[in-house]
Structure 1
Amino acid sequence: MTHDKELTIGGVSVHRWLAHERTRLARVLVARMLADVAHYRDLPAGEVAHDIVTLVEENLLALSQALRERRVPAEPGGRVAETAIRGAEQGMPPGALIEAYHLAFAETWRTLTSRAEPGDLADVLACTELILAYTRRVTEVVTSTYFDERSRLSAEERDERHRLLSALLNGEHVDGLAPAYTVLSLSAGEGGAVATRRKLHRIERELEAFAPGTLFDRPAGAALLPWSGPWERLELLVVRLAEAGRGPVTAAAAQATPAEVPEQMRQTREVLDVVGWFGRGPGLYRLTDVLLEYQLTRPTAASRELAALLDPLDAHPELLRTLEAHLRHGRSRRATAEALHLHPNTVDYRLRRVAALTGLDPAGDAHVQRVGAALAARMSR
C-alpha cells in the first residue's frame, strides 16, 4: 500500500533527498565502515573505491523507494542476497556483513533526522519505523542467504576432501594432492556418542588450524596433514589436541609421499595399537619409539609359540592381569599392588601361581625376557 502524503523532515521530501544525495552519502558511509568495521579495512582499495560504494548507493536507492512507498518489500533491493553469497564465498564473517548494514542504515537515519523540526515528529517516527523494519528485513535476508551458501560450500568442500582422502588411502593418484603428508593415527579415549562427536569436532578444528586442508576421518581417527616439519611441532600439536579434546590423546605419526600413504597409515595404526598394548600412555609416537615392542607383536611362527607359553593362564584372567601389571610397573610388587588395588602379598601369591601354571617365574630374572615376549605375542593374536 502507498501513501499520498510524502514523508518530509525539515521541509524536504525524505525519499527524494535520499535518492538525490545517495552518491555523496555512500562515500561517507563507506568511510565509516572502513573506520568502524575491522574486516573492511582488509579489502582491496579498488574494491572499496568502486564495488562497495556502488552497492551502498544501490541500497540507499532501495531504501528511498521503501520510504516513498512507506512499506518494506519482501525482497530488499541493493543486491543484498548477492552480497551475502559473495561474503560467504570469500569467508567474510557474517557479523561483519550485518554490522556494515546496521552502521549504514543507522547513519542514514541520523542524517535524515538531523534537520527535524518540532512539527516533524510524526514523520520522524514513521521514518524511524520504516528504517528499522527495512534493517530487520535486510538482516534476515543476509543471515539466511549467507548460511545457506556456507552450508552448500561446506558440503562441496566435505565431498572434495572425502574424495582426496579415499584416493590417498587407496593409493590412487588424483589432482589436488599435496607433495607430502604427515600421517597421523589418533586415539582420544572413549565416551558417549554425543560427547565423542563434539570432542572429535574440536580436534578436527585444531588440526585444520595447524595445517589447513587436513583430511580427517573422524570414525577411524585418521588424519592426513599437508605439512612436513620438525617433530617438536607435532608433539606440541598433540598437546593442543588433548586440550581441545579435554582429555588425553595418544597419536602415532609418520611422513609420507602420496604413494606411501596407505602403507604409512597401516603402520601408524599398528604403532598406536602397540603403544596401547604396552600401556605407554598418551603423547606422540613413531615407529622408532617402539621398535622392540612392534617386532615382538608381528605374527610369525615364533610368536605363535611364544604366545602359547601363557595359554595356561586363559582360565585365570586375574593372573594374566596381574602379570601384565607386574611387567608394566617394572616388576615392582608395591606398584603392581597399588595399580590393581591389592595387598602386596596377594600379588606375590598370584605371581607364584603364574610360575606354577606356566613354568615361567616372572619374579626372577631368568625368565623375565621370555615372559615379556610371550605377553607381547599374545597381544597381537
Structure 2
Amino acid sequence: MTEMMGRSLSPVEALRSTPEEDRVADFRAKVRAAGQEWTGDEPDELVELLTEAAAGDPGLDAIVRAGGRLLQDFLDGYQQKTAAEGSRDVAGDLADGHPLPADVFEGLTPRYLIAVVRFAEPGRQVEALRAVAGENALLTHRDGNVVLFIPAAGPGSGDRSVTKLTRCLGGRGWLATAERDRACLGDGFNEASYVLRLVVAGLRPSGAYTISDVLVEYAVTLHEKVRTDLAAVIRPLREHKVLWETLTAFVDCDYSRNKAARSLFIHRSTLDYRLRRIGDVTGCDPTTGRGAQMLTAAIVAEAVQG
C-alpha cells in the first residue's frame, strides 16, 4: 500500500491527484481551450497565447519559454513541408540556397537587404517587422530567427529599413543585415546569420549589426584551428559556474568593474578576487586589454564551436 508522510494511504487516497498534478492538469485544460480559440498562423502568436495560459505561474511560464523555440522550430518545419507541397516558400528557398524556377527568379528585385532577426524572448510578434519591411518583402523563419528579404534600390539604400526594423526590437533583440544582388542572396543570408550568431555569443547589446561590427570574431572563428584553440582556453572555466558568470557579466558590462560588480550584486573587492581567479584558470588576465580581448574571442569561439 502507498505510504506518505509516515502513514499508509488508503486506495482511495492513493488515487487522488496531488496539488502539483491539479496545477498541471488545469494548465493543460487552458492550453486546449487556447487551441480551440487560436486563429493565427504565426508561431510567435501561439507562444504568446500559451504564455497567457500560464497565468503568471513562474514554473509553467518557464516551461512555455523553454519550449517556445522548439515549438517554433517544429512549426517552421511544418510550414516548410506544406510550402513544398503547396505554394512555394521563396524566402525559405533563398535562405537554403535552393534554385528557383526561372520565372520566379526573374520576378525578384535586382537587389535585396537580407535581415536576420532574433528577439531576446520567444513569443514576440513579427507583424511589426512584416509591416515595416513592406508588402514586397519575403519572410520566413530559420533556427528560431525571423528572416526577411527586403527589396533595395541599390547599395546602402537599406539604411532606412534597418532603422525601422531596429525600432521593432524595442531594445530586446538583435538584427544582423547584409546586402546582395539576387544571384547571391543565399550567401547574404549565410553572412547575416553568422554575424547574428557572433553578436549573440559575444554578449553584444540589442541593436543592428553587420559584418563590419564583428570583423575580428568573424576572422578568428572561421579558422577551425584558431576556433578550437580559443575554445580550449575558455572551456576550463565552465567547471566554475561563479567564475563563468563573473566573466560574462564583465564582458556584458564592457569591462567596467564597477558596473559588473553592481550587476552581480557583489562588492568590488569580491569581483577583483574573481577576476584574478579567472586569470589563474585560463592563463589570461581579464583586467588587461590583451587578456580581455583573448577571453572575449574565446567566449565567442566556444559558443560557435557548440
**TM-score, with length taken from structure 1:** 0.51
3-state SS of 2:187 partner? helix
Aligned to 1:213: 136
My pick for the range that moved more, 292-301 or 282-291, is: 292-301
Match of 2:160 among 222, 233, 250: 233
Structure 2 counterparts to residues 135-146 of structure 1, below 5 A:
none
Q: Confirm or deny: 8 A CA contact 1:271 1:294 kept in the other structure.
A: yes
Cα distance in structure 2, aligned partners of 1:258 and 1:290? 24
Aligned to 2:90: 164
Cα distance in structure 1, aligned partners of 2:127 and 2:160? 21
Aligned to 2:236: 312
Query: What's the RMSD between the two structures over aligned residues?
Result: 2.6
Structure 2 letter corresponding to 1:200: V
3-state SS of 1:335 partner? helix
3-state SS of 2:293 partner? helix
Structure 2 counterparts to residues 356-367 of structure 1, below 5 A:
356-365=280-289, 367=291
C-alpha change, 1:298 and 1:339, in structure 2 (3 Å) is: farther
Q: Confirm or deny: 8 A CA contact 1:313 1:354 kept in the other structure.
A: yes
**Runs of 5+ unmatched residues, structure 2:** 1-82
3-state SS of 1:268 partner? helix
Structure 2 letter corresponding to 1:173: L
Q: Confirm or deny: 8 A CA contact 1:164 1:177 kept in the other structure.
A: no
3-state SS of 1:309 partner? helix
Structure 1 letter corresponding to 2:220: L
C-alpha change, 1:367 and 1:266, in structure 2 (3 Å) is: same
Are 1:202 and 2:128 counterparts?
yes
Can you list the C-alpha shifts for 1:321-367, whole angstroms capped at 9, x where unaligned? 21222234343211111222222122112112212223322224563
Q: Confirm or deny: 8 A CA contact 2:247 2:275 kept in the other structure.
A: yes
Q: Confirm or deny: 8 A CA contact 1:189 1:247 kept in the other structure.
A: no
Cα distance in structure 1, aligned partners of 2:301 and 2:188? 22
**Runs of 5+ unmatched residues, structure 1:** 1-155
3-state SS of 2:152 partner? coil
Structure 1 letter corresponding to 2:286: P
Structure 2 letter corresponding to 1:377: A
Match of 2:278 among 337, 349, 354: 354
More strand by share: 2
C-alpha change, 1:358 and 1:275, in structure 2 (3 Å) is: closer
Can you list the C-alpha shifts for 1:21-68, whole angstroms capped at 9, x where unaligned? xxxxxxxxxxxxxxxxxxxxxxxxxxxxxxxxxxxxxxxxxxxxxxxx
Measured after TM superposition, the shift of residue 255 of structure 1 is 1.2
Cα distance in structure 1, aligned partners of 2:297 and 2:252? 13
**TM-score, with length taken from structure 2:** 0.62
Structure 1 letter corresponding to 2:178: A
3-state SS of 1:306 partner? helix
Measured after TM superposition, the shift of residue 240 of structure 1 is 4.2
Cα distance in structure 1, aligned partners of 2:258 and 2:277? 18
Cα distance in structure 2, aligned partners of 1:250 and 1:306? 25
Measured after TM superposition, the shift of residue 213 of structure 1 is 1.5
How many residues matched?
213
Measured after TM superposition, the shift of residue 261 of structure 1 is 1.1
Structure 2 letter corresponding to 1:215: L
C-alpha change, 1:295 and 1:321, in structure 2 (3 Å) is: farther
Can you list the C-alpha shifts for 1:288-327, whole angstroms capped at 9, x where unaligned? 1211122233251122112212222121122112122223
C-alpha change, 1:356 and 1:247, in structure 2 (3 Å) is: closer
3-state SS of 1:310 partner? helix
